[in-house]
Each structure stands twice: as C-alpha cells, then as structure tokens.
Amino acid sequence: MKKVITYGTYDLLHEGHINLLRRAKELGDYLIVGVTSDSFDRGRGKLNVCNNVLERIEAVRRTGYADEIVIEDYVGQKIDDIQRYDVDTFAIGSDWEGKFDYLKEYCEVVYLPRTEGISSTMLRDEKQRIIRVGIAGCGSIARRFVPESSFVSGVTITGIYDTEPSAAESFVQNLNTGHIFDSYEALLEGVDAVYIATPHLSHYRLAKQAIVARKHVLCEIPLTLNREEAAELYALAEQNGVVLMEAHKTAHCPAFNHLMVMIKSGVIGEVVDVEASLSRLLPDKTRREFDATQAGGSLYESGSYPLLPIFRLLGTKYENLNLYSRMENGVDIFTKGVIRYPRAVCSFKLGLGVKTEGNLIISGTKGYAYVEAPWWKTDYFELRYEDQNQNKKFFYKWDGDGLRYEIQEWISCILNSRLTSSRLRRQESIAMAGVMQQFTERKNFIEI
C-alpha cells in the first residue's frame, strides 16, 4: 500500500483545497492529512485563521479524501510523521516549490499544481468585515492594546473615550489612532465593539451599557466583583446576540492552553493539588492599586490569574474557600486562598506588598507540572516524574505583550458568530467574580 501525506491549515476550506486533496489522494492508496493546530499557526504569526482546528479538521473529513487526519503541532513534525507512518510520498502545493526538498531524504516529494484564481487569503479578505473597535479608558493597558491589535486582521481602532479629555488627547497623539469622543454614549454609536480598560468599579456599568446597545465587549479583568452581576452580563450578551469576553491574557496564551490540554489528557495522572502565586512590590502607595475606594488590593487586582488554572483543571464547584489576608489601609497587600474540592486541595498567593516566588505547580498521582515565574506569561513548562529520565521540557514563543491572543479570539468569535470562547468559559469567569464577592463580604475570611 502506497501512503501519501500532505499538510495545510485548511482555513475557509475552498475548491483549491479540495483539488489539492484529490490530487494527493490520486498519488497513492492511503492519504494522511496534517492539519495545523491553532497554537502552531499562532507560533508562525498566523493570527488571521477564521476557523479553529476542530472546525478545520471536520471540514477536511467531510471531503472524503482523507483516510487519516493528524494535527501538526511543532516544527520538524513532518519528518517525524513520515517515519512514524512509513510514508512513501509527501505532497504539497506548487507555491511551495523547492521549500520541502529536504524531505527527499525520507520519501518522494511532489509539488501539486494549485487551482488558479482562488486562495484562503482572497476568500478571507472577501468574507472578513472590519470590526470598528472603540477604547474606553486610556491607561497603560490600553496603550498596549493598540499596537497589539495591529497583529490581528479585521480590526481597526475607531474611537477613544476617557473621563479625562487630556488623557484621551495624549493617547491619540502618542499612538496616532482613533477619534476622540466626548461621551461614552457617542463612542458606542460610532463602533461595532468596545474594549473596556477603565477602573474596576466601572466595568459592570460600562459593559452593560454597551451590551444593551448591541456592541461586542472585551472587558479587562476583573469583569465584575460580584457573581450575580457577571452572570447577568453574560445572559444579557446572549439575549442581545453579542460577544462578551473577559480580557484574561493567560487564558488565551498558546502555551498555557497546551499545558491544560496535556494535563487533562492524564500525563501527570489525577490532579490533587494546584499551587499558583503572583506578586508585585509597588513602592508608590498613592497608586490606584492601594486605594480601597477604587477596589485596590492584591485579590481584586490579580486574583483572576491564579484562579484560572484551578478552575480550568478542577472546575468551579468547589466545597470550600478560605481567605487569609494582611490588610493595610483597607486593602489586602497579601492574600492566600485555600480551595477544597472533593478529591483535591488548591491554594493561591497574591501580593502587592509581599513578594513570593510567582510559579505554578500542578501535582498529580503520576508526576507534576512546573511553570516558572512569570507563569501567567507561559512560554516554558516542565513535566516532572519520579524517574527523572521521563522528565520533559516544553518551550514556546510569547509574542509582544500577549494581548494579541485575546484580541484574536475576541474578533474570531465576532466574525464567526460564536458567543462564547472555550478558553475562558462563562462559568469560570462568573466563579472568579464569586471569589471577589466572597472577599468583599469577608466570608471565610481571616486577617493575619
């Protein structure tokens, strides 16, 4: 039996893709199709993929040409796959002429003619409408949002609004983008979607106003400090047919998502403990982060980060949560939380005036995962075992400030009419707001 293998993204599957698959199939008896993973595409800078990997695999399967489908997830995999599956022929489009000649050492290489007059890029340009995004709030995080959005196709920064006109003017001058609106209402009228980067206590009000106006929303963390408010916003977004996402950059980090998938697949056995920590030493006590009237403090500021791996791996239905905090002037400069599940216990540590390691350790019955600081910007992790010969290290690329990953997912949801993202589920976002609310109400709370 003659085996043939080919690879592609297969985004917006079209006649050209189908013709290539047919021609590849005709070269042998058994066709293996490699579909690039979302993380592999991002690693190559392809942030304009319209369909996720599961949708693209299903599209290839429906053509009927693929006898077997594999996921391409790393550089050099083609050689590994050719040897693993005992492949006779590697086939690829003629626009790659000569680029894969190095594979001739392992098998026959055939460059297939492409269908003239059609490509994914052309279809993407025809299909993809441009989303006009407005920015509410001109602080430091919003200043990073603008350059990061330039890496995502289908986005244009149209409008800027801030309660301080001078801040908006400086923002536009320095970043040379957008039009200044004199009110939030006016901003909403001129855009399709809004990125909310204002202080915490305004998130609920601004997000709700945008959703009612049928505008898509990307809101900085924390979405709200109250479980009921978070649940209300997600329900309201669904009713109005708009996308609401919490801007949690770690949730959309390719390496972090790969780690979560691997652990869920059982590589370290059953998870029995998650320890996550994050801290910063900020000497200027006049900053918003230390102002109790502006929801300052370590938990409100950073709590969403360590809660993410806990909720992702063990779910949101925990049995108990105890909070231990050191308070100064009404804000927690340090908080430790202990979460008990039926068969696991987890902990997190946060600090604005106390320094801690800042790593992530996930313990299982077969081994453990270790992510060094700053784990919330994951670009490297290890799987460690009793037999150290089995230890594995994984390296990834973290591009820029990482905001491009969340922006890409938000825009992809909007363009593909997906009201939710699997990378940060509604129940996880709502549960995070519930932890903030427990702290506010001082339930199971001990001051140290």
Res 9: pLDDT = 87
- C-alpha 7/C-alpha 32 separation (Å) is 9
* pLDDT level of residue 222 (50, 70, 90 thresholds): very high
Higher pLDDT, 95 or 390: 390
With 90 as the cut, is the pLDDT of residue 97 above it?
A: yes
Selected from 3.10.580.10, 3.40.50.720, 1.10.10.60, 3.60.21.10, the CATH number assigned to the domain covering 124-249 reads 3.40.50.720
Q: Which CATH architecture has domain 254-397?
A: 2-Layer Sandwich (3.30)
With 80 as the cut, is the pLDDT of residue 127 above it?
A: no
Res 399: pLDDT = 83
Domain with CATH 3.40.50.620 in the chain: 3-123
Query: Nearest 5 degrees, angle CA 436-CA 437-CA 443?
Result: 105
Higher pLDDT, 124 or 361: 361
With 80 as the cut, is the pLDDT of residue 168 above it?
A: yes
- For domain 3-123, the question of CATH label 3.40.50.620 is answered with yes
Look at phi and psi of residue 10 and say left if phi exceeds 0, alpha if psi is from -120 to 50, else beta. left
What percentage of the chain carries pLDDT values higher than 90?
77
Q: What is the rounded average pLDDT of the residues 417-446?
A: 95
Res 225: pLDDT = 98
Res 273: pLDDT = 98
Res 76: pLDDT = 86
* pLDDT level of residue 304 (50, 70, 90 thresholds): very high
* pLDDT level of residue 125 (50, 70, 90 thresholds): low
Q: Over the Cα atoms of the chain, what is R_g?
A: 24
Res 124: pLDDT = 53
Provide the pairing of β-strand 380-385 with 392-395. Answer: antiparallel
Res 43: pLDDT = 54
Kindly report, residue by residue over 261-292, the tens digit of the pLDDT: 899 999 999 999 999 999 999 888 888 899 99
Lowest mean pLDDT among 106-110, 354-358, 359-363: 354-358
Kindly report, residue by residue over 175-209, the tens digit of the pLDDT: 988 899 999 999 999 999 999 999 999 999 999 99
* pLDDT level of residue 172 (50, 70, 90 thresholds): very high
With 80 as the cut, is the pLDDT of residue 116 above it?
A: no
Domain with CATH 3.40.50.720 in the chain: 124-249
Res 13: pLDDT = 83
Amino acid 374 reads: P
Domain with CATH 3.30.360.10 in the chain: 254-397
Q: Could you tell me which residues come within 8 angstroms of residue 99 by beta carbon, excluding any fewer than 6 positions away?
A: none
Higher pLDDT, 39 or 58: 58
Query: Nearest 5 degrees, angle CA 390-CA 391-CA 394?
Result: 130
With 80 as the cut, is the pLDDT of residue 41 above it?
A: no
Q: What is the rounded average pLDDT of the residues 97-115?
A: 93
Res 40: pLDDT = 64
Lowest mean pLDDT among 123-137, 182-196, 220-234, 356-370: 123-137
With 80 as the cut, is the pLDDT of residue 381 above it?
A: yes
* Mean pLDDT over each residue of the chain, to the nearest integer: 92
Res 120: pLDDT = 52
